[in-house]
Amino acid sequence: MKSILLIFLIIGFPLKQKETKTLIGNYYSVNNKFERLSVMQLNENGKFIYSYSLSGCQAKITGTYIVSNDRIKFSNDKEFLDVANSSGFGKPIYPNLSLIEWKIKGNYIKPNGKINCGCFIENGNHIKQ
């Protein structure tokens, strides 16, 4: 029984690694249009860059991510957590991406909730390109 479990663990681990490698790339929101942009960039080293903009309201958030059970869990870098959901004139709103998991579905990823970027709400599919 132990040997069967060991075989599943040995075989299963490389499959997860391979699944993570296929996720590497840029994902563009299906809601992108003139002057509106939401892009999630997943890098091979477990880091991400989330870029968003609507006219003059724009920012890039960096951090780390992990993949588990067809979900992506993000964690903003500390500098973006200190001002997450801040308000006031001239202060950007950086969404705390650790509050929302993203679902992996074929060649796209989708937040399981609404992301408040300050200038718009994002909750659409992001297709890999």
Domains of the chain, by residue range, sit at 2-128
Report yes or no: 111 and 99 within 8 Å, Cβ to Cβ. no
pLDDT tens, N- to C-terminus, the chain (129 residues): 555 444 444 444 444 444 566 899 999 999 999 889 999 999 999 999 999 999 888 899 999 999 999 999 999 999 888 664 455 555 677 899 999 999 999 899 999 999 988 889 999 999 998
CA distances, 65 to each of 23, 45, 72, 81, 88 (Å): 11, 9, 7, 15, 29
CATH number of 2-128: 2.40.128.640
Q: Which two tokens stand for residue 107?
A: 């060649």
